[in-house]
Structure 1
Amino acid sequence: MMPLSMRRALLRATAAVMASACFSVPALATDTLRVSAIPDESPTELQRKFAPLGKYLEARLGMPVKFVPVTDYAAVVEALGSGKVDLAWLGGFTYVQAKLRTGGKAMPLVQREQDARFTSKFITARDDIKTFADLKGKRFAFGSPSSTSGHLMPRYFLGKEGINPDVDFANVAFSGAHDATAAFVAAGKVDAGALNASVWDKLVEQGKVDTDKVHVFATTPPYFDYNWTVRGDLDPALQAKIKAAFLALDPAKPADKAILDLQRAKRFIPTEPANYDGIESAARAAGLLK
């Protein structure tokens, strides 16, 4: 009879092989499309923006769609990488992180037209901040550490202007979200901050920021940013249907326009991994990727 120690070793080895086999088999189908998004705005705003889009996707795909909220940017990347969500709204930097986390399998499908030429705004409530040089010795707020438009690209372009935030600023804060950065600046918690142009425009339109007090003093050059990304082992046919659903949204149709307006999109266009090579290069240059 096989010794107990050998039987246990064999069972452990068999279990490991079975586990490896399970993980190597592509998850080609899903009964419910699980969707998430980087928390670049408040949780209630994210839910409000997604609700009609979720209903639209259910109708187009013929399957339930569930929104899965997360607490931070890293959680979205991990959820996509571990197969806990199927589709995620990512920034350019979080897409790069997801690509690296999944060995290149995470696939960006579509982006808004403006995401091909996205920008960040530098804002302040101080009259003595008019240029990047005026930021030296001041308190500054970024959004999330993993935010493309709230941290990576502002930091990268600050570097192009000869500003090292970790050396030149009196203090660096991370607000966690773009709307929170605007609130930090308005409340005087920091002297200046960076957030994405889309959220800034929305806050201004909704009267949630006093432009007599808080104003833009600089704008970054354009770069690729947000996209909808799927986990790479999702059924290719379902991937194609998801992509087609986004591309079919027509601003000439009132119901579609309502969805697009919430996404702050005129329409969605196809995207591809190569569009984010510049983001990856910027992240490595800024020391945010090893």
Structure 2
Amino acid sequence: MSRLALAIPLLLLALSAHAEIVIGLVANRGVEETRLDWQPIADDLGQLLNQPARVVAVKNEAELLASFQRGEIDVLRGSSKVALSAVEGGKGEIFARLALTGRQTQYRSLLLVRRDGPASLDTLLAHRQQYRYASGNPDSTAGYLIPQYHAFVRNNVLPERFFRSVTVGNAEDNFRALVERRVDVAVSNTDDLPKLAEKYPRDYQQLRVLWQSPPFSYDPLVIRRELPAATRSRIASFFLDYGRNGPDATRAKEKLYWADQLDGFLPATNRQLREVTDLQLYDALFRLALMPELDTSQRQSREKLLYRRYDQLTALLGGAR
């Protein structure tokens, strides 16, 4: 019995040492295309850890978050909004953020129209129920939360009430819908649009940017807290060094570019998510103000809950900015 009792923990340790590491991310273009583009980076991670590593790509950020919360994903590359849910739920923590070619560390959300579309955002907002809108998924920061607040809520507009129709898709879905005249306005961002312009150069010439947001930090990388501390440390070191240090840095840099036109990864902490907590609060308060069915006491009660969560998140993420 003593030998068996000793053997079982050793077997479990051996299995955990060779368990699969899964990198999960949202595909802003084709799912299989995204997975194949990122797999060479996962292969290098697996070689460093001496265990298999693979990539999971999905179109829906809610699906990505659910997989992370179930422990099926170890490293998550998603929007700040999804990262906030992972951190708030106690399942993950931010350890890095993306930097694009040219050491770009910030992006902007965009609204696109065709060349013959409305001349400005003000022109667009003067024509209620006239245009069709292609939005990002509600779990997306760049595709939903940022334009939702900065383009619409600040102008006292709710897209679902303002537009003739609202569809949801990723950056490529929305780009194609706009080109094919299935919608009149489409959300994009300064990260994905150049890639789509390279992929569809003739279609890109038919479009123009109607509006752009203030700058925001690029997507964070979130690591699962349940991983052993030594594994988390080695994964973090891999990403922060990748394409910058070591004899294979030049080749790694090429893989980063083909994966997502990346320059590499920079150190980051949960504090980066403070950008999102403010947007969520402002959006929720505006929506609350547009609920005529609530009496004063109900509205005040909901406001208290919103501010309570906001204060809790502010403390969790390192205090006020």
Structure 2-normalised TM-score? Answer: 0.74
In 2, Cα distance between equivalents of 1:29 and 1:273 = 27
- Give the CA deviation at 1:255: 0.9
Partner amino acid, structure 1, of 2:120: T
1:57 to 15, 24, 45: 45
- Give the CA deviation at 1:109: 1.4
Alignment of 1:27-46 (within 5 A): 31-46=19-34
Gaps of 5+ in 2: 1-15, 288-304, 307-321
**Structure showing greater relative contact order (alpha-carbon pairs closer than 8 Å, 6 or more residues apart):** 1
- Give the CA deviation at 1:108: 1.3
Partner of 2:231: 238
SS of the aligned residue for 1:267 comes to: strand
1:157 to 150, 160, 167: 150
Partner of 2:319: none
Gaps of 5+ in 1: 1-27
1:172 matched to 2:169: no
1:108 to 94, 111, 115: 94
The two structures, once aligned, show a CA RMSD in angstroms of 2.3
Q: 1:116-165 CA deviation, whole Å, 9 max, x = no partner?
A: 42211211114241211222332111122211111111111112244331
Equivalent residue pairs, number: 260
Q: Percent identity?
A: 20
Q: Once superposed, which parts of structure 1, at least 4 consecutive aligned residues long, lie more than 4 Å away?
A: none
In 2, Cα distance between equivalents of 1:162 and 1:128 = 22
Q: 1:27-64 CA deviation, whole Å, 9 max, x = no partner?
A: x8662112211233321221122121111111222211
Structure 1-normalised TM-score? Answer: 0.82
Alignment of 1:21-100 (within 5 A): 31-70=19-58, 72-100=60-88
In 1, Cα distance between equivalents of 2:122 and 2:165 = 16
1:124 matched to 2:106: no
Partner amino acid, structure 1, of 2:32: T
1:265 matched to 2:262: yes
1:188 matched to 2:181: yes
